[in-house]
Amino acid sequence: MFTRQLAAMLSAGIQLHQALLFYAQGDTSPLCQVMEKTAARLAAGSSLSQALRRHPAVFSPVYVGLVEVGESSGKLVHVFNRLADLLEKQVTMRKRVSAVLTYPAILLLISVLAMLSFLLFVLPMMAPIFESLRIPMPLATRILLASRIVIPVGGVILLLAAAVLWLARPWLRRYYREHPAALRRLHQVPLSMPVLGAVLLKLITARVLYSLATMLDAGLTLVSSLHRAAGVAGNAGIAARMEDATRDVIEGRSVAEALKRHRVFPSGAVQLISVGEESAGLNAMLRHIASIYDAEVELALMNLAAVVEPVIMVTMGALVAFVVLSAVLPTIYLLNNL
């Protein structure tokens, strides 16, 4: 929203410094405070890219790099419009992913809460009744009674483990910053997962290629665009392979050849990139590939949700049947032995 508004104000002829102040006066949000500081640095003689670079938590290297290109080329409005397109596309994709996964997540949460409520509140009232019968308990009933101890203990252990991980975050960040190979191995784990790994790779591919196309359209050089696009991946392993591919491009290899050599993206995407290079339409091809993979990710997530929902329902049905059977079997056994 900020980027689109800034582009609109600049298009209307408002000076950059004044446009930033207009936005900063909107409210007291953290972004408005950042804009106020940015405007002050502009007044002190800094360029916009230099001022934005002081806020890496707000403005990514891609964002700052494109602004820098816009400043040097005099096409800042064009760059801001491109950036707005890029950011809106990323937000749209996140919303699509959330929309597809929200219902299965809610269904799973309700199921887990229902089972926990039974185990923590209902089962403790039933257990003394079973134990007072003084009859041999069926295996299912013994498992159910044991779960009232095992599951709470397991829950406490999980909570303690989560608390330890949360407290260890500063140390973990420092460790992975000092050991990039370990971070790459960690980031490789989700990519190696069946089904989800392929979907995640397509999602990263779409994000990186669309960012790359945006930077090339704005006038950034190919090498600089590849280098900055590596930071968009959000995956240390893919980012490292992109950096290796960038070095190959510097040495004279084509983009497609370099990406194929280091296995950065799926082979289908690399083949289309090769076609784009040969036809001198790389930018358009990158956007086309990103659109293809966006659509494939959305379809894959919808299919996954369609599978997960009945699996959750069947699993919960089986658990309910197990609980009912465990509760009824002792009564049946008692009646048969009267």
CA neighbor of 51 nearest in space, from 24, 82, 73: 24
Give the domain-ending residue among 72, 87, 102: 87
The torsion of the CA quartet 12, 15, 20, 24, rounded to 10 degrees, works out to -80
Q: Does 98 lie in the same domain as 65? A: no
Residue 245: both structure tokens together: 């591919």
Residues constituting the chain = 338
Cα–Cα distance, 91 to 12 (Å, whole number): 26
Give the domain-ending residue among 87, 119, 146: 87
Q: Does 219 lie in the same domain as 78? A: no
Residue 318: how many other CB atoms lie within 10 Å: 10
What region does 280 belong to: left with phi over 0, alpha with psi -120 to 50, or beta? left
Q: Does 143 lie in the same domain as 13? A: no
Q: Does 135 lie in the same domain as 74? A: no
CATH number at residue 248: 1.20.81.30
Domain of residue 54 covers 2-87
pLDDT at res. 243? 93
Spatial contact of 297 and 100, defined as CB atoms under 8 Å apart:
no
Cα–Cα distance, 13 to 79 (Å, whole number): 16
pLDDT at res. 211? 84
Q: Does 277 lie in the same domain as 335? A: yes
Q: Does 76 lie in the same domain as 218? A: no
pLDDT at res. 306? 81
Into how many domains does the chain fold? 2
Cα–Cα distance, 212 to 231 (Å, whole number): 11
Cα–Cα distance, 263 to 253 (Å, whole number): 15
**Alpha-carbon dihedral sign for residues 139, 140, 142, 147:** positive
pLDDT at res. 337? 65
Cα–Cα distance, 47 to 148 (Å, whole number): 64
Q: Does 199 lie in the same domain as 292? A: yes
pLDDT at res. 129? 73
Q: Does 129 lie in the same domain as 220? A: yes
Residue 124: both structure tokens together: 């403790």
Residues in contact with 229: Cβ distance below 8 Å, sequence separation at least 6, in sequence order = 62, 208, 209, 211, 212, 215, 242
pLDDT at res. 298? 83
Cα–Cα distance, 141 to 46 (Å, whole number): 73
Q: Does 202 lie in the same domain as 74? A: no
Q: Does 121 lie in the same domain as 63? A: no
CA neighbor of 187 nearest in space, from 230, 158, 141: 230
Cα–Cα distance, 169 to 165 (Å, whole number): 6
Q: Does 289 lie in the same domain as 227? A: yes
Give the domain-ending residue among 87, 119, 154: 87
At 193, phi and psi to the nearest 5?
Answer: -70, 140
Q: Does 82 lie in the same domain as 139? A: no
pLDDT at res. 244? 94
Tens of pLDDT along the chain (338 residues)?
Answer: 788 888 888 888 888 888 888 887 766 778 888 888 888 888 888 888 888 888 888 888 778 878 887 887 777 888 888 888 888 887 887 787 787 778 878 887 887 787 777 777 777 777 777 667 676 777 877 787 777 777 777 778 888 998 998 999 899 889 988 898 998 999 999 999 888 899 899 989 988 898 888 888 878 889 988 988 888 888 899 999 999 999 999 999 999 999 999 999 999 999 999 999 998 889 899 989 988 998 888 888 888 878 887 888 888 888 878 877 877 777 777 777 65
CA angle 186, 240, 245 (to 5 degrees): 145
